[in-house]
A = this chain, B = another copy of it.
């Protein structure tokens, strides 16, 4: 189908019931933190105006929420991936409605988080100053990386290598510069195990008394790790293009009692970084289902939906995909008593 016609049809479909021009009425909104612990440090600062010694709080997870007037399903927690923040789920690079608002307009309470040590969730910068002050070696500096545009191009599967573009690509590449602005340095490898985001997600799920944990990429495994910690409060897992699934040969018990969706975009088989991950997730899904689980392993092009990048929540058909996930939630997650 001609791309312009297809996009017009998608926009029309997505718009049914969610006219973007209509005002939005919500019950409440706000933000809070989950988790966090106090740590003492002697290397907080090298500036005279701020003392080097003292206590800071780190490991907390920032959460911004919005609640619709008449919720129609369970709350959804939106968990971003590598080198990104909660911005992932907001307005797309080309200015279309993000999943945060779309899910809300469809009646879903939404909780958008910034992973521990990312965005509005504080990283512990002491280790930089420990070396700057000569109390540790350069090798002991924290591991903080930034993904380059050129490297991220293939990781996010806009093309197989920068700047080649996969044919039929649905990511709004005309606004690529706006996407690059979403990327932030990633402290992941400097964090304790488990990543503080995982227990924080568990606390949030328990607090919400039944949440869908929707993760992406690097955070793809987090809802599974959360379930392994404590299944309480987890109504379902939706893992979008996870960096990893639980091992098919491991303990599958934590994952058998809840509906799980693992969702993939296009061009995965051509991507050396992603093809083995998809294969491992398929094996996990098969093993879990064989053991009595309810895992939907959904590869979009196998269902005729082609052209999705790794950032499918920002692709041209993002709202159609959101509706597909909402439909899956409706059919698979039991209504709360």
Binding site for B on A (CB under 8 A): 23-33, 36, 38, 41, 44-47, 50-51, 53-57, 60, 62, 64, 69, 85-87, 90-91, 95, 97-98, 101, 114, 119-126, 128-129, 131-134, 138-139, 141-151, 177-178, 180-185, 189
Contact = CB atoms under 8 A, between A and B. Distances in A.
B56 A98 contact: no
Contact of A25 (B23, B30, B125): B23
A101 to B, nearest CB: 6
Given A44-B148, A45-B145, A50-B145, A31 B122 contact: no
Contacts of A138: 131-134, 138
Contacts of A151: 50-51, 54
Contacts of A41: 146, 148
A224 to B, nearest CB: 20
Contacts of A95: 30, 32
A24 B29 CA distance: 9
A121 to B, nearest CB: 8
A81 B85 CA distance: 21
Contacts of A29: 24, 101
Given A23-B69, A119-B120, A138-B134, A148 B55 contact: yes
A31 B91 CA distance: 6
- What number of copies of this chain does the assembly contain? 2
24 contacts: A24-B27, A24-B29, A25-B25, A26-B26, A33-B178, A44-B145, A44-B148, A45-B147, A50-B145, A50-B151, A51-B148, A51-B151, A55-B149, A56-B180, A57-B180, A57-B183, A60-B181, A86-B120, A122-B146, A122-B183, A131-B138, A132-B138, A132-B139, A134-B138
A170 to B, nearest CB: 20
A102 to B, nearest CB: 11
Query: A44, A121, A126 — which one has the most chain B CB atoms within 10 A of its CB?
Result: A44
A90 to B, nearest CB: 4
B120 A56 contact: no
A47 B145 contact: yes
Given A98-B30, A125-B144, A189-B47, A120 B184 contact: yes
A24 B31 contact: no
B23 A148 contact: no
A71 to B, nearest CB: 12
A111 B69 CA distance: 24
Contacts of A189: 47
Contact of A85 (B91, B120, B131, B139): B120
